[in-house]
Amino acid sequence: MEEAFTFVVVGIAGGSTYALLALGLVLVHSVSRVLNFAQGAFGTLAAFVAASIAMGHDIPWPLAVAAAVAVGAAVGAATAVVLLGRDGGILPPLVGTVGILSAITLVEARWLGGTREFPTPVSGAGVELAGVVITPTRMLVVAVAAGAGLALWLGLERTRLGLALRAGADNREGARIVGLDPRRLEVAAWTAAGALGAVAGVLSGWTTQTITPGFLTGVLPQAFAAAMLGGMVSLPGAILGGLVVGVAESLTRLYWGGTPGSPELVVFLVLAAVLLLRPQGLFTRARRGLAFEGSESLVRLLPMVRDPRPGSTLSRVVGPAGPVVAVVAVVAIAGAVSGPDAFKLSALPVYALLALSLNFLAAATGQLSLGHAGLFGLGAFGAAVATTTWELPPVLGFLAGPALAGVAAAALGAASLRVRGLYLAVLTLAFGVVLQAFVFPTETFSQGGAGLTLTRPELGPFDLGDDGTFLAACGILLIAVWAVLRRLERVPLLRGMVAIRENQTAASARGIDATRLGVVGFAISGVLAGLAGSAFAFRQGIVVASVFPVQLSLTLVIWVVLGGLGSRAGVAAVAAAFTLVDLYASGSNQIFTLLAALAVVLLIGRQPLGAGGALRAVFERRRLARPASRPASERREPARSDAAGGAPGPGPAVPPSLVVRMSEHEVVRPVVLGARDVTVRFGGNVAIDSLSLDVHPGEIVGILGPNGAGKTTTFNVLSGFIAPTRGGVWFRGHDISELTPAERTRRGLGRSFQQGGLWPSETAHANLLMAQYGRSVGSSFGDAVALAPEHLRSDRRRAAVADEVLEVLGLGDAARRPVGTLPYGHRKVLEIGCAVATRPEVLLLDEPAAGLHGAQSEWISEAIAALRRELGITVVVIEHDVALVRSVSDRIYVLDFGSLLTAGRPDEVLARAEVIEAYLGQPLAAPGTVPS
Amino acid sequence: MTAALSVRGLVAGYDGVPVVRDIDLDIGPDTFLAVVGANGAGKTTTLRAIMGLCDVFAGTIELGDRSVGDARTSARVLAGLALCPEGRMVFPTLTVEENLLTGAIAGQAWAGRSDALARVYAVLPRLAERRGQAAGTMSGGEQQQLAVGRSLMSDPRVLLVDEASLGLAPVMVDQVFEILASIHASGTAIVAVEQNIRISTVATEIVVLEQGTISERIPAEDVGHGLHEAARAAYFGTGAH
């Protein structure tokens, strides 16, 4: 018991370092939404500076520590100035902090003395407390940490700057409105984080008495875990989280100390449990908005989805020939280089493949893995165990690597259904740490630290034991993977994944379910990382645990971001280039590595889409300079063959004709869509109060009401995005209240959005292809990857349908441009096109004309009429443009304060005094003055 | 008399797309201008452009004799503008009093924050009762009052109010309008954007915004006459009845 108490005390001392780092992480994340990997580096640099000052110049320790804190704060501020405020979202600054971490570590190793002593300033016998001796150093550590925490708390609670920081973290837009400058707030938060890191560095140095370059990097996962326990927003939560992690680690050492990596495992398990069960953290209440921020896609990408039809004649010839030429080239190079160089160069395809696996994950799922070195290691160990321990034939052994890594990645994919964004990134980071610290050192994998050896086999006439032959084999593997990835861009499966990555709401509204696709995306990436691992194992001939460190995972992220997310060529080239530098230029002289790290810091975010993006921009410019990319005859080639299966859109292509209103008796028909007694409460507010409405087949129904009347909420209930507090929804005679939005869309209940129903980084044509995914591809795996000729044909028909819809919508010229770059009016029109492409029986249109004027707005009313006339679609439309609703609707419902105000034929309803009052407020004079 | 706020030929919008065009506004030191119009007419964009919160493509914005068209939002707050934004934008985890204090966080206003607090509590006594409560836990009407109170903390020369009536029950709407009237009476110029034309009971001038441009100006002496008709035409489509 006493022993346990001792370990608790030790844990608290260690945990206070984690707590300080976690406080810095939380501050930075709250204000900048960035995971700061340099948090520990601020501290190590400060500690090295303190040691240099105190020991070199005989300056008293307190002064040296004060100087160190100042250095930490300055470096934090400088980091914010250099990294923030650039284009490209939150990933470039994250990668930039990794670059700063590498640079600082190198500086410490080369110019600040490497490993050096860090004596504690206090000495003595210590104090005995309840039978446990607490050393003076531990007391000092806890006291200083508590003092720093208290100072931070006072600063935030009692000062003007503190109030500004809390306001900025709470609501960025609100902070701008009261006149706060977001950039200055960020610099302030990073400065404080730098100071906190410095204190953590000094305390950690006192505890261990020596400091080594980058000594806090290893505890970053623990610090992230501590911050996550506080939900990444709560400062007291971060402190408690740090102490919990510290004590848990310490107690694990006591009770399970014999197993290496067991503390890391316990931290990972705690973190995983918290993230999966309570993503908002242990110590915070759920906050609206936070989960969403954590869920967003971390990446911004170039268009990925390609037309399934073969392109120009040139590309039809070059397409298949490309890989053949590449293989010939690889074989020629392999034949030309001699032994040692061939061995060195064989690392290039291996690391390029590994980078491509992470690139695929980011591009397909929008998620970031910081544990890819772990998957790489699983691949290597999988191959080694299968070949050496189980003595499987080499080919099977080789495939065991990707199989093992694929399964592990699929498990991460399953977790991604609950945790996304930065939270998932931290989970994968911890996953990598556990693999490296706990799993790989086990007896199965490490054989008592000796590692597993394996020999390259002979395959038929080819002896892979020869380095030249092996180089050729690795090159061919890379080319094969490249070809598969290229093919993937043209099949429905990737479209579904991209749809989810880019806009999950839009994806479910178009009938695409996230569940399976997310897991598949991770699994594919895992298989690729495993392939790289297998190849690596056979290249090395021996696999040991130490070669898959977390640092490799971070390096991979750098390569992928520098190369340009989503750009295979850019990523592979950057990976190969860095590997080359590593093979030939580093070693004794680390200046080159330092320059590379600094280049990362300075370049990141300058060109948000990386090297690949820059290249692509050049090509795009050249292509746009040419008059037309495809002859019209070719675009028409597959012909208008599939009118029934497809979705020719609405619009001016059909001659405008009078809107035909249904006669009264026709309206008395079966109900195709109905809401019964629906009530929706948000907290204490009632958004909808016992609302019932009916829609009959073939009708056009308008829903009117002032702002905040509950119109969009009604649509969200009908389409399944909000579960009503009470009441139900019926569609075609079935209760659909329990169905997901995607299921409702697949049954024929489509919807459009005011805005945001599109996938902005993809082209207009790709948007229409993706919109057809849910209803047409459904659950057939064969169709999803378009393996069989008939699948390929039907997929090409979809592309033709998309062309036709674009033509009808008048968007033919915009077909190949990313939707995000289209004018607002075009996006509104395309939004309707995408909703129609799901082939709905009933279509809910949410403010289709909002923000449109004149001709565009008239076009929308024509289009709504044409939807019914030409396609037999029943339409329910929300619109603020009362004249538009009046002109197209058979019936109108008017909502006010969440309940039904009145309903009926348009002219009757709009003449009613209560409707006018709902819109304009109560009449100014006596009610008699309101003209009727 | 120099105008407190003068806007000339304003063209503004988002992502390179103009939403409002050729907006001219003159706000005197004792003006209460109501900008009414249907949804999407560009009311919010006009206010955000004046605050420097969206893209301005052309035009000038002068506060007193100083041009603020190129200044940062924080500089405009210092110069005497304040915005009570649509959707309130309060800080949900901060207390009511802390929320109010953020309104005085820019520039010299911080020194006079306790006086400002007292002033706001006098106008909005409800907030004084709730001063220790987290803003996110208050009702919509109370949050609206808080947003108004926060915008008063910098003692602005011109207060911009965006749809203060949004989502409030009719009785609360009147209450908020009366509060605006009393702020105006105490010497602050107000530009209030509204969909609810009951604002005309307290405004001194009205402009109607339609499809991004000013379609009608109703001077102080005519407020109350013909407004309902004009607004009705703007909301329900011209030619209706």
Q: Is residue A493 part of a domain?
A: yes
Inter-chain CB proximity A287 and B211 less than 8 Å: no
Residues B150, B178 within the same domain: no
Highest mean pLDDT among A55-64, A173-182, A609-618, B232-241: A173-182
Residues A671, A599 within the same domain: no
The answer to whether residue A54 scores a pLDDT higher than 60 is: yes
Residue A58, CB-side half-sphere exposure with 13 Å CA sphere: 0
A128 DSSP β-pair partners: A133
Q: Return d(Cα A214, Cα A37) in angstroms, integer.
A: 12
Alpha carbon A572 to chain centroid, angstroms: 21
B211: distance to nearest CA of chain A, Å? 7
DSSP symbols for A730-755: EETTEE-TTS-HHHHHHTTEEE--SS
Which member of A180, A923, A929 has the closest CB to residue B106? A180
Q: Is residue A652 part of a domain?
A: no
Residues A245, A325 within the same domain: no
| Residue B175 identity (one-letter amino acid) | Q
Of B155, B174, B196, the domain-final residue: B155
H helix and E strand count, chain B: 8, 10
CB A213 within 8 A of CB A10: no
pLDDT of residue A294: 37
The angle at the Cα of A32, spanning A31 to A38, to the nearest 5 degrees, equals: 115
Inter-chain CB proximity A177 and B53 less than 8 Å: yes
B109: distance to nearest CA of chain A, Å? 12
Which pair of structure tokens corresponds to residue B89?
């934008």
The answer to whether residue A295 scores a pLDDT higher than 50 is: no
Highest mean pLDDT among A417-426, A880-889, B232-241: A880-889
CA distance to A282, A500, A771, per residue, from A758 (Å)? 36, 11, 9
Q: What is the ipTM of this complex?
A: 0.90
Which pair of structure tokens corresponds to residue A556?
């991979």
CA distance to A414, A847, A849, B239, per residue, from A907 (Å)? 54, 20, 20, 13
Within a 10 A sphere around the Cβ of A490, how many other Cβ atoms?
Answer: 20
CATH of residue A868's domain is 3.40.50.300
CB A876 within 8 A of CB A701: yes
Q: What is the pLDDT along chain B (241 residues), one digit of tens a residue?
A: 568 899 999 999 887 778 899 999 999 999 999 998 877 788 999 999 999 999 899 999 999 888 998 898 988 998 999 999 988 889 988 999 999 999 999 878 899 999 999 999 998 888 999 999 999 888 777 888 899 999 999 989 999 999 888 767 777 788 889 889 999 998 999 999 988 778 888 889 989 888 889 988 887 666 665 566 666 666 665 433 3
CATH of residue B229's domain is 3.40.50.300
Residues on chain B touching A823 (C-beta within 8 angstroms): 17
Of A921 and B115, which is predicted with more confidence? B115
Instruction: Pick the residue of A30, A183, A920, A932 with the most B CBs within 10 A to test the interface with B by mutation.
Output: A920
Residues A339, A213 within the same domain: no
Inter-chain CB proximity B240 and A886 less than 8 Å: yes
Residues A104, A184 within the same domain: yes
Give the CA radius of gyration of chain B: 17
Q: Return d(Cα B22, Cα A729) in angstroms, integer.
A: 47
CB A806 within 8 A of CB A635: no
pLDDT of residue A36: 92
The H or E element containing residue A462 is strand A462-463
Q: A591: left (phi > 0), else alpha (psi -120 to 50), else beta?
A: alpha
Residues B151, B189 within the same domain: no
Residues B71, B168 within the same domain: yes
CA distance to A324, A372, A526, A529, per residue, from A353 (Å)? 18, 12, 11, 7
Residues A117, A258 within the same domain: yes
Domains: count for chain B: 2
Reported as a pLDDT band with limits 50, 70 and 90, residue A309 is: confident
Which pair of structure tokens corresponds to residue A350?
């291996």
Which member of A179, A708, A851 has the closest CB to residue B74? A179
CA distance to A385, A387, A439, B143, per residue, from A443 (Å)? 11, 16, 9, 62
Counting Cβ atoms within 10 Å, is residue B30 exposed (0-12), middle (13-18) or buried (19+)?
Answer: middle
Q: Is residue A636 part of a domain?
A: no
Q: Return d(Cα B224, Cα B226) in angstroms, integer.
A: 6
Residues A234, A349 within the same domain: no
Of A295, A329, A352, the domain-final residue: A295
Inter-chain CB proximity B106 and A897 less than 8 Å: no
pLDDT of residue B233: 64
Q: Return d(Cα A21, Cα A224) in angstroms, integer.
A: 8
Residues B181, B193 within the same domain: yes
Q: Is residue A87 part of a domain?
A: yes
Lowest mean pLDDT among A31-45, A466-480, A643-657, A753-767: A643-657
Which pair of structure tokens corresponds to residue A327?
């293989």
Kind of pairing between the strands at A874-878 and A891-896: unpaired
Q: Is residue A220 part of a domain?
A: yes
Q: Is residue B65 part of a domain?
A: yes
Which pair of structure tokens corresponds to residue B138?
């208050």
Of A113 and B32, which is predicted with more confidence? B32
- In the A/B pair of chains, how many CB contacts fall below 8 A? 143
Averaged over A181-185, what is the pLDDT?
A: 89
Assign A180 to helix, strand or coil. Answer: coil
Counting Cβ atoms within 10 Å, is residue A521 exposed (0-12), middle (13-18) or buried (19+)?
Answer: buried
Residues B182, B207 within the same domain: yes
Helix extents (H) in A489-567: 492-502, 504-509, 514-540, 550-563
Helix A492-502 crosses helix A347-365 at what angle (to 10 degrees)? 60
Residues A322, A271 within the same domain: no
Residues on chain B touching A911 (C-beta within 8 angstroms): 241
pLDDT of residue A72: 96
pLDDT of residue B230: 64
Residues on chain A touching B164 (C-beta within 8 angstroms): none
Of A622, A644, A675, the domain-final residue: A622
Residues A254, A322 within the same domain: no
End-to-end CA distance of chain B: 42
Instruction: Pick the residue of A177, A881, A897 with the most B CBs within 10 A to test the interface with B by mutation.
Output: A177
Q: Is residue A53 part of a domain?
A: yes
The H or E element containing residue B189 is strand B189-194
Structural domain boundaries enclosing B178? 1-80+156-241
Q: Where does A567-699 show beta strands of DSSP type E? A: 673-682, 685-695
For residues A446-458, one letter each, b for 16 or more C-beta atoms within 10 angstroms of the residue's C-beta and e for the rest, the string is bbeeebbebebbe
The residue behind tokens 């310490």 is: A250
Inter-chain CB proximity A179 and B38 less than 8 Å: no
Average pLDDT value for chain A:
83
The H or E element containing residue A463 is strand A462-463
Highest mean pLDDT among A298-307, A334-343, A607-616: A334-343
The answer to whether residue A661 scores a pLDDT higher than 80 is: no
A833: distance to nearest CA of chain B, Å? 22
Lowest mean pLDDT among A263-272, A285-294, A524-533, A874-883: A285-294
Residues A68, A150 within the same domain: yes
- pLDDT (tens digit per residue) in B53-98: 998 999 999 998 889 988 989 889 989 999 999 888 899 889 999 9
Which member of A685, A897, A910 has the closest CB to residue B236? A910
CA distance to A38, A553, B229, per residue, from A430 (Å)? 17, 11, 66
End-to-end CA distance of chain A: 86
Residues on chain A touching B197 (C-beta within 8 angstroms): 920-921, 924
Residues B214, B192 within the same domain: yes
Q: What does DSSP assign to residue A457? A: P
Residues B102, B136 within the same domain: yes
Q: Is residue A759 part of a domain?
A: no
Domains: count for chain A: 3
Residues A241, A367 within the same domain: no
Q: Is residue B85 part of a domain?
A: no
Residues B29, B104 within the same domain: no
The answer to whether residue A472 scores a pLDDT higher than 70 is: yes
Q: Is residue B50 part of a domain?
A: yes
Of B113, B134, B155, the domain-final residue: B155
pLDDT of residue A630: 41
Of A176 and A820, which is predicted with more confidence? A176
pLDDT of residue A638: 36
Q: Return d(Cα B65, Cα A655) in angstroms, integer.
A: 56
Residues A564, A674 within the same domain: no
Which pair of structure tokens corresponds to residue A862?
């024509």
Q: A839: left (phi > 0), else alpha (psi -120 to 50), else beta?
A: left
Within a 10 A sphere around the Cβ of A516, how many other Cβ atoms?
Answer: 14
Lowest mean pLDDT among A257-271, A430-444, A506-520, A770-784: A770-784
Residues on chain B touching A173 (C-beta within 8 angstroms): 85, 89
Residues A212, A143 within the same domain: yes
Instruction: Pick the residue of B63, B84, B91, B133 with the most A CBs within 10 A to test the interface with A by mutation.
Output: B91
Which member of A174, A881, A924 has the closest CB to residue B89? A174
Within a 10 A sphere around the Cβ of A125, how many other Cβ atoms?
Answer: 8
Reported as a pLDDT band with limits 50, 70 and 90, residue A282 is: low
| Residue A911 identity (one-letter amino acid) | A
pLDDT of residue A636: 37
CB A550 within 8 A of CB A105: no
Which pair of structure tokens corresponds to residue A891?
């019936």
Which pair of structure tokens corresponds to residue B108?
């010299």
Inter-chain CB proximity B92 and A287 less than 8 Å: yes
> Phi first, then psi: what are they for A712, rounded to 5°?
-65, -35
Question: Which residues, 6 or more positions from A865, have their beta carbon under 8 angstroms from its beta carbon?
Answer: A657, A659, A660, A700, A888
Which member of B51, B103, B235 has the closest CB to residue A919? B235
The answer to whether residue A650 scores a pLDDT higher than 50 is: no
Residues B148, B169 within the same domain: no
Inter-chain CB proximity B106 and A920 less than 8 Å: no
Reported as a pLDDT band with limits 50, 70 and 90, residue A87 is: low
Q: What percent of chain A has pLDDT over 90?
A: 33
Q: Return d(Cα A75, Cα A835) in angstroms, integer.
A: 50
pLDDT of residue A645: 35
The answer to whether residue A670 scores a pLDDT higher than 70 is: yes
DSSP symbols for A633-646: HHHHTT-S--TTTS
The answer to whether residue A890 scores a pLDDT higher than 90 is: yes
Q: Is residue A69 part of a domain?
A: yes
**Measuring CA to CA, which residue among A712, A692, A640, A643 is closest to residue A872?**
A643
Residues B72, B165 within the same domain: yes
pLDDT of residue A258: 72
CB A232 within 8 A of CB A26: yes
pLDDT of residue A605: 65
Residues B190, B179 within the same domain: yes
Inter-chain CB proximity B235 and A920 less than 8 Å: yes
Lowest mean pLDDT among A120-134, A282-296, A458-472, A502-516: A282-296
Residues B173, B139 within the same domain: no
pLDDT of residue A878: 92
Question: Which residues, 6 or more positions from A365, have their beta carbon under 8 angstroms from its beta carbon?
Answer: A413, A416, A497, A500, A501, A518, A521, A522, A525
The answer to whether residue A666 scores a pLDDT higher than 60 is: no
Structural domain boundaries enclosing A56? 2-295
CATH of residue A127's domain is 1.10.3470
Residues in chain B: 241
Reported as a pLDDT band with limits 50, 70 and 90, residue A655 is: very low
Q: Return d(Cα B213, Cα B19) in angstroms, integer.
A: 9
pLDDT of residue A88: 62
CA distance to A159, A187, A188, per residue, from A74 (Å)? 21, 10, 10
Q: Return d(Cα A580, Cα A587) in angstroms, integer.
A: 12
